[in-house]
Amino acid sequence: MELCELTAHELGKMLRNKEITVPQIVESVYKSIELKDNDIKAYISLQKEEALKEAAEMQKRFDAGEDLPPLAGIPITIKDNICTKGIKTTCASKMLQDFVPPYDATVIEKLKAQGAIIVGKSNLDEFAMGGSTENSAFMKTRNPHNLECVPGGSSGGSAASVAANETILALGSDTGGSIRQPASLCGVVGLKPTYGTVSRFGLVAFASSLDQIGPITKDVEDAAILFNAICGHDEHDATSVSMEHPDYTKALEKGISGLKIGLPKEFFGEGINSEVKEIVLKKVEELKAKGATVEEFSIPSIDYALSIYYILASAEASSNLSRYDGVKYGYRTESADGLNELYEKTRSEGFGPEVKRRIMLGTYVLSSGYYDAYYKKALKARTLIRQEFDKAFTKYDVIIGPTSPTTAFKIGEKSENPLEMYLSDVCTVPVNIAGIPAISVPIGTDSKNLPVGMQIIGKAFDEMTILKVAYNV
């Protein structure tokens, strides 16, 4: 067995037992990348030289007997929409193909403080808009379980790198399912934390009121360890919550007797593939056998979640992406006659079609005459969804359903029809709208041998419970 196939907690133990060294881990990861990434295409950029240097430094500290944090010496892959000082952060867009941030995102500062080693920056749908990583301006990432299939998205590079053992841990970002859906399609674990628990400072904004950074890992224990490392209040993010966080690895206990599970019928409706449904329900039965109670119920406004999501997310995106205008950084058109042409040519040439579509939609719903009917209405509808989840959590500890309506689909299968692509977010989007946490865990494979993920949703700030349930799956 190669070291790159192991988890962070396994490697941590071996490092402390002096069975292995940090450079050995890092070498193993890069060997795996060299072997596989020509096919998988998970990475936009690699940091091999830096990483090996850091590995040697870190090993010295282990050798000196220092008591190091859990992530010390552990390789991690960063989605390329999280700013890394001195390392290109492209958002998989022509617009930022040469952009080098002069600062680190707060999560990166935290990881560096722990001694984690950045392997490279992973591919994504341009500006995190998409569900297949096909919208990257640079390349299409492939699903390690079947190279003809998409890895999901938008954190497709992160999920594929974890699934292909081209890294140990990864960070993704989730605005409407972008951590959980690719985790599900790649057969790994993906956690979308409660809005406000992980700092967004340094995460290139897509939809500010929905975005959240989270772990993509090989197992639930690693998710808890990585979440421990990145959560917490940040004075640079006004939407970051100041609270005492428990040690999330304490959630990892066997036994769920007495757990109350709610199954919303909207998650098992028409649009959901029947094989996926079956596998999820079988897993729920197993949880029942372990002592959980299960009840079906309804969250009626979930049916509107996608509409609400595409209004809110696109509106915020249209504003957040206005700064890419060819003036201060990033792509600038070759030649322009005057300022307005500079703007229009730069933005038309620099953004891909999906990003443009969403900017158009977002601009439309905010424009004079449409604001009330779309944006304002969606903000009210957001309240309804939140209230219905609040109500559900008075009865259930967790809400369970599939993460994605289908398993991994073929590259190119949905890329011509944007609306159909949007429908693959149907199970994940309500969670972002409600601002609550959810985790996707692999629970088996379908008849095509593609992974199926189950989504466990918890109430706000109750990551402990969903981690515990996930650990018991």
Partner 1 sequence: MVETKDIEYVAKLAKLKLNDSDKEKLIPQMADIINFANRISELNTEGIEETNHILNMSNVFREDEVKTSYKRDDILMNAPQKEAGCIIVPGVNN
Partner 2 sequence: MEYESVIGLEIHAELSTKTKIFCSCTTEFGGDVNTHCCPICTGMPGTLPMLNKKVVEYAVKAGLAMNCTISKFSKQDRKNYFYPDLPKAYQISQYDLPLCKNGYLDIEVDGATKRIGITRIHIEEDAGKLLHNAWGNGTLVDMNRCGVPLIEIVTEPDMRSAKEAHALLEKIKTILQYIDVSDCKMQEGSLRCDVNVSIMPKGSTTFGQRTEMKNLNSFSATEKAINFEIERQKEVVEAGGKITQETRRWDDETSSSYSMRSKENAQDYRYFPEPDLLPIVLDDEYIEGIRTSLPELPDKKYARYIESYKLPEYDANLLTASKDLSEYFDKAVNLGATPKAVSNWILGDISKVLNEESITINEFKITPEKLVELISEIEKGTISNTAAKSVFEVLLTEDKTVEEIIKEKGLAQVNDESAIKEMVERVIANNQKSVEDYKKGKTNAVGYLVGQVMKESRGSANPQIINKLIVEALNNL
Residues that bind partner 1 (CB under 8 A): 98-100, 102, 195-196, 209, 235, 238-239, 241, 301, 304, 306-308, 310-311, 318, 322, 325-332, 336-345, 347-348, 351, 356-357, 359-361, 363-365, 367, 373-374, 376-384, 386, 418-419, 422, 434-435
- Residue 79 bears catalytic tag: yes
Q: Could you say whether residue 101 binds partner 2 (CB under 8 A)?
A: yes
Q: Closest separation between CB of residue 58 and partner 2, Å? A: 26
The C-alpha atoms of residue 470 and residue 188 are separated, in whole angstroms, by 12
**What's the longest Cα–Cα distance across the chain?**
70
Mark residue 258 as left, alpha or beta (left: phi above 0; alpha: psi -120 to 50; beta: remaining): left
Minimum Å distance from CB 458 to partner 1? 15
- CB of 173 within 8 A of CB of 428? no
Could you confirm whether 184 is annotated as catalytic? no
Pick the closer one to partner 2 by CB: 144 or 202: 202
Least distance from C-beta 367 to partner 1, angstroms? 6
Determine contact, residues 197/181, Cβ cutoff 8 Å. Answer: no
Q: Which of 41, 79, 121, 414 is labelled catalytic? A: 79
String of contacts with partner 2 for each residue 343-362, x by CB under 8 A? x-------------------
Catalytic residue among 93, 122, 154, 440: 154
Per-residue contact string for residues 365-404; x = within reach of partner 2 by CB under 8 A: -xxx--x---x---x-------------------------
Rounded to whole angstroms, the Cα distance separating 227 from 111 reads 11
CA distance 205 to 215: 18
Instruction: Let me know if 319 is a catalytic residue.
Output: no
Catalytic residue among 178, 301, 318, 424: 178
Q: Residue 230, interface with partner 2 (CB under 8 A)? A: no
- 187 conformational bin, left if phi > 0, alpha if psi -120 to 50, beta if neither: left
- Is 319 exposed, middle or buried (CB count within 10 Å of its CB: 0-12, 13-18, 19+)? middle
Which CB contacts under 8 angstroms, 24+ apart, belong to 56-64? 56/22, 56/23, 58/22, 58/115, 58/117, 59/21, 59/22, 59/23, 61/115, 62/15, 62/16, 62/18, 62/21, 62/22
Number of neighbours of residue 316 by Cβ within 10 angstroms? 22
Numbers of helices and strands, H then E, in the chain:
15, 11
Closer CB to partner 2, 254 or 328, in the complex: 328
Residue 182 or 196 having the CB closest to partner 1: 196
Binding residues with partner 2: total (CB under 8 A): 43
Nearer to partner 1, 58 or 95 (CB): 95
DSSP for 85-139 reads TTB---TT-GGGTT---SS--HHHHHHHHHT-EEEEEE--SGGG--SSSTT-SS-
| Cα dist from 180 to 232, 357, 446, whole Å | 21, 23, 18
**Candidate list 205, 272, 305, 398; residue touching partner 2; CB under 8 A:** 205
Which does residue 37 bind out of partner 2, partner 1, none, counting CB within 5 to 8 angstroms by kind? none
**Residue 105 interface partner, choices partner 2, partner 1, none, CB cut-off 5-8 Å depending on type:** partner 2
Stretch that binds partner 2, among 51-59, 97-105, 150-158, 414-422 (CB under 8 A): 97-105
CB of 83 to partner 2, least distance (A): 4
> Under the criterion CB under 8 A, does residue 341 sit at the interface with partner 2?
no
Q: How far is CA 52 from CA 24, 29, 47, 168, 285, in A?
A: 9, 11, 9, 15, 47
Whether 160 and 146 have beta carbons less than 8 Å apart is answered as no
**Residues annotated as part of the active site:** 79, 154, 178
Residues forming contacts to partner 2 in the complex (CB under 8 A) are 82-83, 89, 91, 96, 99, 101-103, 105, 200-205, 207-209, 235-239, 315-316, 318-319, 322-323, 325, 327-329, 339, 343, 363, 366-368, 371, 375, 379
